[in-house]
Chain A
Amino acid sequence: MYNHDGQDIFVIDGHTHLWNANPENWRNKHGESWARCFYAYHSGFSPPEAVWPFDKFCQYGEKVMVDDLFLRGYVDMAILNSTYLYEFYKNGFNSHAQNNVLKAMHPDRFLLCGSFDPRDEAAGLDALRKMTAEYPISGLKLYTAEWRGDSRGWRMNDPWAYKHLALAQELGIKNIHVHKGPTVYPLSMDAFDVRDVDHAATEFPELNFIVEHVGLPRLDDFCWIAAQDTNIYAGLSVAMAFVHLRPRYFGEIMANLLFWLGPDRLCFGSDYAIWTPKWLIEKFMAYELPDDLKQEYHCDLTLEIKRKILGENAARLYGIDIGAQKAKLSRDAIGVERASRVSA
């Protein structure tokens, strides 16, 4: 909960991880490169006081995460994005099973994302059924750039991807988080191309597609498809980080998102532990869109819109009644701990 002039703002962090990037878990040099690459994002864009040493960044554990999100970071609920990377990490980077440790400890605080890989074909459908039966899965996180044997990625409109999406819908899953990355498939095409999401969103109008990192580095293509399909949402993690070092770009990105998508389809995310929500939220709440951008784009980042971005939009996607949820959360272990800190 962020308190702004006596008003409570309910915060859902739409993009968090509990990962294990410890050297013992590196399968090969890519495990190290991956962790170093994440760390470069972390150290390059965080304010100096929020930068961690690399070894802490590789594995921080449940307690630190709970503290950073809920006790110091204003977050009320968080979506756990699962990212497997078995080709780089022996036991996976951030599987739903790893994430579920936290979900089990604080069931009302977390929304757990599962995943599928259409390259598993029929076996993948069984795995998805099993995953949703065994774990409290409320959304999916898909990573089209994931390496697998000789394959270097897949696309959202592959026939087997559609079969998996149809099954997800049948299983009652509504929210599909999609992350693009520099896959090399198809090798000679633009690997970051988000147009496959456009096809899937048209094919499955009942599902919501949250494009993580607003399609960066293809922000332009993302805005284009999101303007066409109203079931495409912007996951703001990574874009948020500009608020500190590059406030002008941040303003330009926000102005464009508001212009093309409007205020109801933008969802906050920290990408924890790449960035910690405390400073992101504080700087976001203090941020004012520059006057020239307000005029040029005919939009503003008002308190009401910030409130939507920080929690209300994601709550709507996941069917969360904020009032009822707040009451429930005030009674869990974290809520009690928070209350005691406030009164202390």
Chain B
Amino acid sequence: MAYNVSSEFPAGCDGTVILKQLDLVLDPELDESILQLGFVQSVQVRDGQAVVMLQLPTSWCAVNFAYLMAEDVRHTLLAVAGIQRVTVRLGDHCAAEEIEAAVNDGRPFASAFPGTGAADLSALRLTFLRKGFLVRQERLLRNLRAAGCSPATICGLRLCDMSVRDGLVSTEPAGVAPVETGPAEVLRHYLDRRAELGLDCARSALLIIDTEGRPLPTEQLERHYQDARMIRVALEANGSFCRAMLAGRRARAANPSNRAIGGEFHVQS
């Protein structure tokens, strides 16, 4: 894997398994892998203990999201055979101390900030899982529209009408010739999140549903698409900002004397 992560694994430990596992951890706001976003600075495994250094784009990255990412890193690595303990570090984040203490001890968010009214983060997590669901669905809708599927066709599609051939989705509504509707990955991402949200994934289920699992009437599809499109643009723009901010920090850390660093050089996305 071509991620720029400094790593140290003991002999006999397959580092790619660990990196693959970390690749499953998403920034909940951006719905992108923290590994691909470059937030994982280093991973070290020694004597059954994993130490992961995260570097978020700014010291002010929202505390609750920072906690969620750190917690997910811990959980995902504890699932790897041979790792008994996980320590997550958050560098110069403004709440690094509190978050690290709670996460590394397996304590909930509220216990990290006693007396502040901090509560459970599950509602926040759900909000962003749903936004991600809509964004993934929008990419699929975009492909279906581009392939010429009408709103009535789209709203009537069932999961069994979608099949994958040679990495491409083939859409075959009842009684109509199949059309190619974009990369299989787009469909897979959508279905993964759909399952994660506990929505119906039976072959007979409708393909396009809202975040509660309800079908969309044909006349509401356009508005639904417009809303989802807006969320996608917001998430993509934020991801682009985060990458640029992080790259700025990295460039400075690599070469502190270089005070005037130009634009294109360090923005990767």
Residues in A neighbouring B95, C-beta threshold 8 A: 184
Checking B227, B234, B261, B262 against A47 with a beta-carbon cut-off of 8 angstroms, the contacting residue is B262
Given A30-B94, A184-B63: A220 touches B230 (CB 8 Å cut-off) = yes
A40 touches B230 (CB 8 A): no
Q: Does chain B have a CB within 8 A of A280?
A: no
Given A188-B124, A191-B64, A245-B264: A41 touches B245 (CB 8 Å cut-off) = yes
Given contacts A45-B263, A249-B237, 20 further A-B contacts (CB under 8 A): A33-B94, A40-B249, A40-B252, A43-B261, A45-B244, A47-B263, A51-B260, A182-B62, A186-B117, A188-B110, A189-B124, A191-B64, A216-B238, A216-B241, A217-B241, A219-B234, A224-B227, A245-B244, A249-B233, A256-B230
Checking B119, B234, B262 against A43 with a beta-carbon cut-off of 8 angstroms, the contacting residue is B262
Given A33-B92, A189-B124: A220 touches B234 (CB 8 Å cut-off) = yes
Kindly state the separation between the CA atoms of A164 and B241 in the bound complex, as whole angstroms.
Answer: 34
Question: What are 29 inter-chain pairs, A to B, with CB distance below 8 A?
Answer: A30-B94, A36-B252, A37-B59, A39-B248, A43-B261, A44-B247, A44-B266, A44-B267, A45-B267, A46-B262, A46-B263, A48-B263, A54-B259, A152-B116, A181-B60, A182-B62, A184-B62, A188-B110, A188-B120, A189-B124, A190-B62, A190-B127, A191-B64, A216-B234, A217-B241, A224-B230, A245-B263, A252-B236, A253-B237
Q: Does chain A have a CB within 8 A of B157?
A: no
Residues in B neighbouring A48, C-beta threshold 8 A: 262-265
| B116: nearest chain-A partner, CB-CB | A187
Q: Does chain A have a CB within 8 A of B121?
A: yes
B260 touches A188 (CB 8 A): no
B237 touches A242 (CB 8 A): yes
Q: Does chain B have a CB within 8 A of A319?
A: no
Q: Does chain B have a CB within 8 A of A260?
A: yes
A40 touches B248 (CB 8 A): yes
Name which of B123, B124, B127, B234 has the most chain A CB atoms within 10 A of its CB. B234
Q: Does chain A have a CB within 8 A of B133?
A: no
Given A37-B59, A44-B266: A53 touches B259 (CB 8 Å cut-off) = yes
Checking A39, A55, A218, A244 against B263 with a beta-carbon cut-off of 8 angstroms, the contacting residue is A244
Residues in B neighbouring A191, C-beta threshold 8 A: 62-64
Q: Does chain A have a CB within 8 A of B200?
A: no
Kindly state the separation between the CA atoms of A218 and B30 in the bound complex, as whole angstroms.
Answer: 11
A51 touches B261 (CB 8 A): yes
Kindly state the separation between the CA atoms of A189 and B231 in the bound complex, as whole angstroms.
Answer: 18
Interface residues on B, range: 35 or more
Given A40-B245, A216-B238: A259 touches B62 (CB 8 Å cut-off) = no
Q: Does chain B have a CB within 8 A of A246?
A: yes
- Interface SS majority for chain A: helix
Q: Does chain B have a CB within 8 A of A93?
A: no
- The digit string for B82-116, where 1 denotes a CB below 8 A from any CB of A, is 00000000001011000000000000011001001
Checking B59, B120, B226 against A259 with a beta-carbon cut-off of 8 angstroms, the contacting residue is B226
Binding site for A on B (CB under 8 A): 29, 57-64, 92, 94-95, 109-110, 113, 116-121, 123-124, 127, 131, 226-227, 229-231, 233-234, 236-238, 240-241, 244-245, 247-249, 252, 259-267
| B131: nearest chain-A partner, CB-CB | A220
Residues in A neighbouring B240, C-beta threshold 8 A: 242, 246, 249
Within 157-202 of A, Cβ neighbours of B (below 8 Å) are at 181-182, 184, 186-192
- Interface size of A by Cβ–Cβ distance < 8 Å? 47
Residues in B neighbouring A55, C-beta threshold 8 A: 259
A182 touches B61 (CB 8 A): yes
Q: What distance in Å separates the Cβ of A145 from its nearest Cβ neighbour in chain B?
A: 8
| A218: nearest chain-B partner, CB-CB | B234
Residues in A neighbouring B261, C-beta threshold 8 A: 43, 51
Q: What distance in Å separates the Cβ of B107 from its nearest Cβ neighbour in chain A?
A: 14
Q: Does chain B have a CB within 8 A of A9?
A: no
A184 touches B263 (CB 8 A): no
Residues in A neighbouring B230, C-beta threshold 8 A: 219-220, 223-224, 256, 260
B263 touches A37 (CB 8 A): no
Q: Does chain B have a CB within 8 A of A86?
A: no
Q: Does chain B have a CB within 8 A of A52?
A: yes
Checking B113, B124, B227, B245 against A190 with a beta-carbon cut-off of 8 angstroms, the contacting residue is B124
Given A33-B59, A44-B248, A217-B241: A187 touches B263 (CB 8 Å cut-off) = no
Kindly state the separation between the CA atoms of A260 and B229 in the bound complex, as whole angstroms.
Answer: 12
| B226: nearest chain-A partner, CB-CB | A259
A44 touches B245 (CB 8 A): yes
| A184: nearest chain-B partner, CB-CB | B63
Checking B58, B110, B120, B237 against A40 with a beta-carbon cut-off of 8 angstroms, the contacting residue is B58
Residues in A neighbouring B29, C-beta threshold 8 A: 217
Q: What distance in Å separates the Cβ of B198 from its nearest Cβ neighbour in chain A?
A: 22
Q: What distance in Å separates the Cβ of B18 from its nearest Cβ neighbour in chain A?
A: 29
Q: What distance in Å separates the Cβ of A106 from its nearest Cβ neighbour in chain B?
A: 29
